Amino acid sequence: MIAERGIYQEIVASAVGDDAADNQKTVVRNITAADLLAAYALARVSREMDVRERTLQAQGRAWFSIAGAGREVLGWAFARHLTASDPKFPYYRDRTLVLASGLTPSEMFRETVGAATDPASGGRQMPSHWGSKAHGVVSQSSPTGSQALPAVGLAEGILKAQQIGVPVSDPWREDSVVYVSLGEGTTAQGEVEEAVRQAARTRAPVIIVVEDDKYAISIPSTWSIPGGDVFGLYKHYSGLGMLVLKCDGTDIADADRCAEEAVGHARQRQGAVLVHARITRPMSHSSTDTQEQYRSPDDLAEEQSRDPIRRLTELLKKHKLVTTAGLERLDAAAKDAVEAASDAAVAEPPLDASTILLDVLAAKPAPPESAADEGETVELRYAVNRALKAAMADDPRIVMFGEDVADTDIEGLPGKGGVFHVTRGLQFAYPGRVWNSPLAEATIVGTAVGHSLAGLLPVVEVQFRDYLNPAMQQLVDEAATLRWRSCGAFCCPMVVRMAYGGYLGGAGALWHSEAGVGMLAGIPGIRVVVPSNPMDAAGLLRTAIESEEVVLFLEPKALYSRRGLYPGDHYRVPLGKAATLRSGRDVTIVAWGNLVPRALDATQELTSEGLEPEVIDLRTVDSRWDAERVVESVDRTGGLLVAEEDRCTGGFGATVVARVVQELPGVVVARVAAQDCRVAYGPQGERAVLPQVADIVAASRRLVEE
């Protein structure tokens, strides 16, 4: 499929006549004269758009531009073999691919000028960050290479959905293949290697195209790539679940051959494909770059000799498909079409500032808090386990993966079920829907984005909060931004579970005792949930799974064995709603997670002294925290103490205090938090860093005395 029956065919018809445009004579391979002429028209439009964007920037009508020049033939070739139902994660230089897939020049220019009608992001993203659900183009982010893992995850998800009998999300189909592209310099990114390895391991129907123009901005590939050879870098994956190909991406016949083989291989479910395509970069990296400062005249001249438009021109002339005058008319028609599209886009209304907060989070209303059953008493870890099992029974889309989360295939053995046994028995109960991931946190979160895009509902595990850090790019730049940057066209609901925090008697030390809630709470586009008891753990988890949000579910591992009521499978706790655990009049103590039982322990000593603290469990610790409840309480008690496990600098407690002081000027406030260092080993080391019950008691006394 290629969208060349429209503006590009019209350009050809107007310049050289209908007879030539409809000529079905084969010129090279299975490329007809009409194909070749339309490919040339498409290439000219794409190149003229590169130039026009920089003109718009010079006029003050745009603020950045990045050219796709040099990829015109390669983009045409892949678009020719892909369909609108094939997900595409295009590199920011893939202008021609996106145009050939159906996006019009006018629609593309709307992104350039930041128009409210920009179909990619409503004017929120910079140019060349493509997105169009109608044409199968998944909203593109900026970090180089970060799109690779979601693309692999989407390919895996399409296969998994069919395996477990779940419909694939529209507009994808069961035979869809996933296209993702990147530059040769981006192969230095660790997440790209994770994606290639994962694609080969799972034999996902994904095509990873490395577009090699010899330079990553100013850094030559001979410096950044071992041996300077992309194909040599990856050829060892050939036969290991991946087909590794190379082509001259400036030659239309070779590019078409390679694209046809790659798409056919993935479509037939023979495994993943990696393509090394040699192309050119006739224009500087971006509008802020001048490549003549670091590329020699000889280098640029050699580049010019391989320009794909030049090679198309030579082919047209060789086969006498157009006269010199006809070619000039064709070029002029392409330029006129681009100018008309640009003028139309400039006339569009700009981004409406009043809409800027739409689609940061899902618009789904929170469920009311339901009544708990008079059930049995269980440990917190088994409340989570039971809630997971019930959720999987209710929703066949749910899949779970992470390190060590599965059971075992060895008869008679119980299996691991997570390092804290929270997922034990789930693989046995739901075979095919629970599996172990590689030891790679970015792969877990990144492929979960793709699984969600495929129509599944991932509930994945990262073993410790401390080890979420390797996945932060996938969380912060991909998962958290997808809904907002696409104006709601794409989203990736998921839950990421992880054990967090210390208070393990000194066993955790640094890298197994991190709270880090404040670092997460300020990320737009995610929810952060921290239960402190079995009932809340079950109710919050069910709501998180059903929320259509990206939710981080932090399980206090020091409380895993704490027992409490299992409230029943129907129980739900709304996100963003705090709980008042103890009413009081003298001071409000706000806590969450591990500090909740310590705050309650502190109240026992305080009440023996005649003080009556009010204790609030925040439960949800993100931008939608229950400020109303906290402000109302502090207004009554006259004082606020936030007790948190985070370090004092950067902890979420500072946000709580700031909001209360803003709403209630003059109120007395204080915080109890960890020291500004990492947690030390052993009981004494841990106690020296983390806040203790005595700290809460002392701070509460001081507040009441003020």
Catalytic residue numbers? Answer: 512
Question: Rounded to whole angstroms, how far apart are CA atoms 121 and 540?
Answer: 32
- Distances from the Cα of 12 to the Cα of 18, 106, 334, angstroms: 8, 19, 9
Question: Rounded to whole angstroms, how far apart are CA atoms 622 and 529?
Answer: 8
Q: Is-contact 59 85, C-beta < 8 A?
A: no
Name the nearest CA neighbour of 188 among 226, 137, 231: 226
Tokens of 207: 């095509």
Name the nearest CA neighbour of 607 among 584, 580, 588, 640: 584
Place of tokens 């569009």: 348
Pairing mode, strands 668-674 and 613-617: unpaired
Q: Is-contact 146 180, C-beta < 8 A?
A: no
Torsion of CA 44, 137, 249, 274, to 10 degrees: 180
Instruction: Please list, in sequence order, all residues whose beta carbon lies within 8 angstroms of the beta carbon of residue 217, skipping any fewer than 6 positions away.
Output: 185, 285, 289
DSSP string, 26-45: EEETTEEHHHHHHHHHHHHH
DSSP letter at 592 equals -
Cis peptide before 171 (omega within 30 of 0): yes
Q: Is-contact 541 495, C-beta < 8 A?
A: yes
Question: Rounded to whole angstroms, how far apart are CA atoms 244 and 333?
Answer: 39
Instruction: Please list, in sequence order, all residues whose beta carbon lies within 8 angstroms of the beta carbon of residue 4, skipping any fewer than 6 positions away.
Output: 38, 39, 41, 42, 100
H helix runs in 82-164, sequence order: 95-101, 105-112, 148-164
217: left (phi over 0), alpha (psi -120 to 50) or beta: left
Q: Is-contact 490 661, C-beta < 8 A?
A: no
* Backbone torsions φ then ψ of 288, nearest 5 degrees: -100, 10
Place of tokens 């993203």: 125
Name the nearest CA neighbour of 133 among 179, 108, 104, 170: 170
H helix runs in 171-251, sequence order: 190-202, 221-224, 230-234
**What would you measure as the largest C-alpha separation in the chain, in angstroms?**
99
Give the residues across from 183 on adjacent strands: 211
Pairing mode, strands 587-591 and 639-647: parallel
Give the residues across from 553 on adjacent strands: 497, 529
**1: burial class by Cβ within 10 Å (0-12, 13-18, 19+)?**
middle
Q: Is-contact 268 262, C-beta < 8 A?
A: no
Neighbours of 96 (CB within 10 A): 29
The amino acid at residue 256 is D
